[in-house]
Structure 1
Amino acid sequence: MPTALIILAAGQGTRMRSDRPKVLHEVAGAPLIAHAMAAGAAVEPARTVIVAGHGAEAVQAAALDLDPDVTVAVQPEQLGTAHAVAQARAALDGFEGDAIVLYGDTPFIRPETLAAMAEARARHAVVVLGFEPAEPGRYGRLVMAGDELDRIVEYKDASAAERAIALCNSGVIAADASLLFELIAEVGNDNAAGEYYLTDIVALARARGLSAGVVTCDEAETLGVNSRADLAAAEAAFQARARAEAMENGVTLVAPETVFFAYDTVVGRDAVIEPNVIFGPGVTVESGARIRAFSHLEGAHVSRGAVVGPYARLRPGAELAEDVRIGNFVEVKNALVAEGAKINHLSYVGDATVGEHANIGAGTVTCNYDGVFKHRTEIGARAFIGSDTMLVAPVRVGAGAMTGSGSVITGDVPDGALAVGRARQENKPGLATKLFERLRAEKARRKGE
């Protein structure tokens, strides 16, 4: 049966103390809503509807950037969760299948949990995701009648006996889409908050003689983000899980607590990640590669046997082939570095192609930007670039060619040629001594004034 996702992302999140919509705050390099969409992707949704409110234009732009096929509905007033879900009705007009309601600020629902909810839908008209927190606090309570869910009671409206119930409501609900909207149409706002609660559909379904059930999950999956402290806790939870999964999959983390992954980082088995490495979005590290300490990678691909760092930076478009060496204080951006090439010290290589087994000397810079346009540098196989070479793009250094240290290369270098582009050295006998004497005398005069 096809499934539709309805992701609620209309809240302002006043406790965030931010002008940015809450769901656009980031965990592991991606907005919260990206995590919710990724979780929902596990059910292979036929349609996805984002319900936006505060900052709707920014939320819509972010959602469409993540998935151009999503539909964004706007909740102009925030009148409760049932009212929010109702805004998705037009977008799902004529849809036949289940609907799962997720939350843009609850990023860690596991695919296995959603699969269990989808499976439970075969037995129940409405399925609710519950959990048992260490501190139930002000969560809504799930009131059971034997093996079935009888109703959900919001904390504000719960009796003392109901508040003593340990099983709490996560807010995630699955139901037939048509039934969901029918039940929502019957929801009122006669409660302590004066809001239209999505949770009321359970009692309404039971009043129709329909079955309601509960699937439970670990409390960590239901972690919601409502404040900066919650955001930090969510980041910590993500990183702890990502580190554990990496090591379980055969990755060596020398100091796990100092490594930070992005939401989409891929690291192959037998790769070694040294301390204080940060992964931005879009990084793949193949099996057997080594990322040395204090390196930062984003939008980069590192192949087998490559070594990066320490203190290296790979920026978007960096593509390292097998057995490449990128050393300390080297920055690579939008560049293909072919097999066995070495850029070991204090260099910037951007908008470039570096051939097989080329050697780039310390202090080399590809001067790729003229203030308006970016230009490419091509360095041939087995070329040797002398230390402190400025390669003024567009320029090509041929295969097996060499540049002299301290050169400024402004024209193409043929295969096998040596290029030297620097002023001729002149020595002025005794001039340094005379100059120092003059400067020291001037310094003494100024101190005496």
Structure 2
Amino acid sequence: MDLAIILAAGEGTRMRSAQSKVLHEIAGRSLIGHVLAALDHLSPKHRAVVVGAKREAVESHLNEIAPDALLVHQEVRNGTGAAARLALEAFVAKHGSTASTVIIMAGDTPLLTGASLRSLHSRHLEMKAKATVLTAEVFDPTGYGRIIRDDQGRISRIVEEKDCKEFEKEIDEINSGVYLFDFAALRGALAELSSDNAQGEEYLTDVISILQRKGEVVAAELIQDETEIIGVNDRRQLAIATSVMRERINDALMLSGVTITDPLTTWIDVTVEIAPDVTLLPGTQLLGKTIVETGATIGPRSTLVDSSVGQDARVIESYVRGAAIGYQVQVGPFSFLREGTELAT
């Protein structure tokens, strides 16, 4: 993979937050951090992020988690197509026209997995396509662009909901906002974009119909788990995505040998390390860089932040931050360990 472009310039007004939408966190990692982590599975040679609203804070965060990323400012938010063109122009100015394959995705889709992105890439190569779109079939397609197919089942265009005719709104196959493109084909199609639509913007989705009219191969990959394409635009969607991530993390841990007696009340950050044969009781939160060694029992109703728990230790109804709990040590009930605390057998 030559170039990955993340679109993160949106205003995020529906979040009703002083903080940029893509900086809100799920399971100890920002929304855009989750997107970058998924992209790592494709090992892109270059990454570009288009920023706009609350630019300074977003750029500061990206300098910490992705210092090699090319940051591109979209001063006028005039559409995803315009954002993609800015990113390509910035990339060409710095590296020349050296890329062959480009992936473009939004910065507010934290549930996308590396496995799905690899499947999309494989489909793109298999079809020798100029563009491949990741799609999903959903029960309620409200708010998403619809995938329009021709009589032979081939994707012909993507219609944003505000531009849909009534019969098109009934289509349940939607655009995920994740695309793979041939670099040259994308660059040429972006030059042909128009803002003649309901929102007066240049849609990246229109690249699909442009390429299709030129007779280029346009493919689609239907994602198996539609929850992966959930975008976060408001606090309700943030809560939904957080719950899905909790289930995903807990399922993986249980399959690895960790006992979680009540997964619905157990919250674990993606940065936490837990060994097999650990038991987590109801109401447990493990956050930050917490490490729990085998045989330990945490809970009930305990929160650990950036702490370590030794083998066969117990933490009962306690709050622990930045502490080291040694082998077979028992903490609690009703203890508060401050940062720097070290407890040995």
Q: TM-score, normalised by structure 2?
A: 0.91
Question: In proportion to residue count, which structure has more helix?
Answer: 2
1:101 and 2:96 are equivalent in the alignment: no
1:259 to 247, 262, 266: 266
1:171 to 167, 173, 177: 177
Are the counterparts in 2 of residues 311 and 330 from structure 1 also a CA contact under 8 Å?
no
Q: How does 1:335-374 map to 2 (within 5 A)?
A: 335=341, 337=343, 341=344, 357=345
Query: 2:268 aligns to what SS in structure 1?
Result: coil
**1:139-170 alpha-carbon deviations (Å, 9 max, x no partner):** 21111232431111122222233223221111
> What number of residue pairs does the alignment pair up?
336
Deviation at 1:196, TM superposition (A): 0.3
Q: Distance in 2 between matches of 1:302 and 1:127?
A: 46
Single out whichever of 142-151 and 107-116 deviates more from structure 2: 142-151
- Match for residue 9 of structure 2? 10
Q: How does 1:117-136 map to 2 (within 5 A)?
A: 117-122=120-125, 123=127, 124-136=129-141
Are the counterparts in 2 of residues 251 and 272 from structure 1 also a CA contact under 8 Å?
yes
Larger radius of gyration: 1
- Match for residue 166 of structure 2? 160
Q: Distance in 1 between matches of 2:139 and 2:149?
A: 19
Q: Which stretches of structure 1, 4 residues or more, deviate above 3 A after TM superposition?
A: 318-328, 334-337
Deviation at 1:105, TM superposition (A): 1.1
Rate the CA distance shift 1:322–1:3 in 2: closer, same or farther, 3 A. farther
- Match for residue 41 of structure 1? 40
Are the counterparts in 2 of residues 39 and 110 from structure 1 also a CA contact under 8 Å?
yes
- Match for residue 293 of structure 1? 300
Q: Distance in 2 between matches of 1:138 and 1:250?
A: 40
**1:284-339 alpha-carbon deviations (Å, 9 max, x no partner):** 223322212222112223333232x21333323x34444343333040523555xx
Deviation at 1:252, TM superposition (A): 0.7
Rate the CA distance shift 1:215–1:18 in 2: closer, same or farther, 3 A. same
Q: Unaligned regions of 5+ residues in structure 2, if any?
A: none
Q: How does 1:396-415 map to 2 (within 5 A)?
A: none
Deviation at 1:263, TM superposition (A): 2.6
Q: How does 1:50-89 map to 2 (within 5 A)?
A: 50-89=49-88
**1:412-436 alpha-carbon deviations (Å, 9 max, x no partner):** xxxxxxxxxxxxxxxxxxxxxxxxx
Q: How does 1:50-449 map to 2 (within 5 A)?
A: 50-93=49-92, 94=96, 95-122=98-125, 123=127, 124-145=129-150, 146-217=152-223, 218-307=225-314, 309-316=315-322, 318-328=323-333, 329-335=335-341, 337=343, 341=344, 357=345
Are the counterparts in 2 of residues 280 and 298 from structure 1 also a CA contact under 8 Å?
yes
Query: 1:314 aligns to what SS in structure 2?
Result: strand
Q: Distance in 2 between matches of 1:181 and 1:306?
A: 58
Task: State the Cα RMSD in Å.
Answer: 1.8
**1:268-295 alpha-carbon deviations (Å, 9 max, x no partner):** 2211011111122212223322212222
Are the counterparts in 2 of residues 8 and 50 from structure 1 also a CA contact under 8 Å?
yes
Q: Distance in 2 between matches of 1:70 and 1:171?
A: 20
Higher relative contact order (CA 8 A, sep 6+): 2
Rate the CA distance shift 1:286–1:179 in 2: closer, same or farther, 3 A. farther
**1:236-268 alpha-carbon deviations (Å, 9 max, x no partner):** 221122222222222111222111111322222
1:30 and 2:17 are equivalent in the alignment: no
Identity value in percent: 33
Rate the CA distance shift 1:332–1:179 in 2: closer, same or farther, 3 A. same
Rate the CA distance shift 1:275–1:85 in 2: closer, same or farther, 3 A. same
Query: 2:110 aligns to what SS in structure 1?
Result: coil
**1:34-77 alpha-carbon deviations (Å, 9 max, x no partner):** 11111111111211111110001100111111122122111101
Rate the CA distance shift 1:97–1:319 in 2: closer, same or farther, 3 A. farther
Deviation at 1:115, TM superposition (A): 0.2
Query: 2:87 aligns to what SS in structure 1?
Result: coil
Rate the CA distance shift 1:176–1:255 in 2: closer, same or farther, 3 A. same
Q: Distance in 1 between matches of 2:123 and 2:153?
A: 13
**1:154-205 alpha-carbon deviations (Å, 9 max, x no partner):** 2222223322322111111111233322221211111111110000111111
Rate the CA distance shift 1:86–1:335 in 2: closer, same or farther, 3 A. farther
Q: Which amino acid aligns with 1:136?
A: P
Deviation at 1:223, TM superposition (A): 0.9
Query: 1:76 aligns to what SS in structure 2?
Result: coil
Q: Distance in 1 between matches of 2:254 and 2:171?
A: 38
